[in-house]
Amino acid sequence: MKTNMKQKKFIRLLLSYLLLAIMVCVIIYPLLWTVGASFNPGNSLISTSIIPENPSLIHYQELFAGKGSLQYVQWYKNSLKISLFTMVGTMISVSFTAYAFSRFRFKGRKHGLTLFLLLQMIPQFSALIALFVLAQMLGLMNSHWLLIMLYIGGLIPMNTYLMKGYMDSIPIDLDESARIDGASHTRIFLQIIMPLSKPMLAVVAMNGFTGPLGDFILASTILRTPDAYTLPIGLFNLVNDVMGASYTKFAAGAILISIPVAFIFVLLQRHFVSGLTAGGTKG
Query: What pLDDT shows up at residue 44?
Result: 65
Residues 159-185: pLDDT tens digits? Answer: 888 888 888 888 888 888 888 888 888
Burial class (CB in 10 A: 0-12, 13-18, 19+), 21: exposed
Residue 171, judged by CB atoms within 10 A of its CB (0-12, 13-18, 19+), counts as exposed
- pLDDT tens, position by position, 100-113: 888 888 887 778 87
pLDDT band at residue 139 under the 50/70/90 scheme: confident
Domain map (residue ranges) of the chain: 2-58, 71-281
- Assign 241 a pLDDT band (cuts: 50, 70, 90): low
Question: In this model, does residue 281 exceed pLDDT 50?
Answer: no
pLDDT class for 89, splitting at 50, 70, 90?
Answer: very high
Q: How many CA atoms lie within 13 A of 23 on its CB side?
A: 6
Q: Which of 209, 215, 213, 214 is nearest to 128 (CA)?
A: 215
Query: How many CB atoms sit inside 10 A of residue 20's CB?
Result: 10
Q: Which fold has domain 71-281?
A: MetI-like fold (1.10.3720)
Per-residue confidence (pLDDT) for residue 82, from 0 to 100: 95
Closest CA to 127 of 115, 119, 137: 119
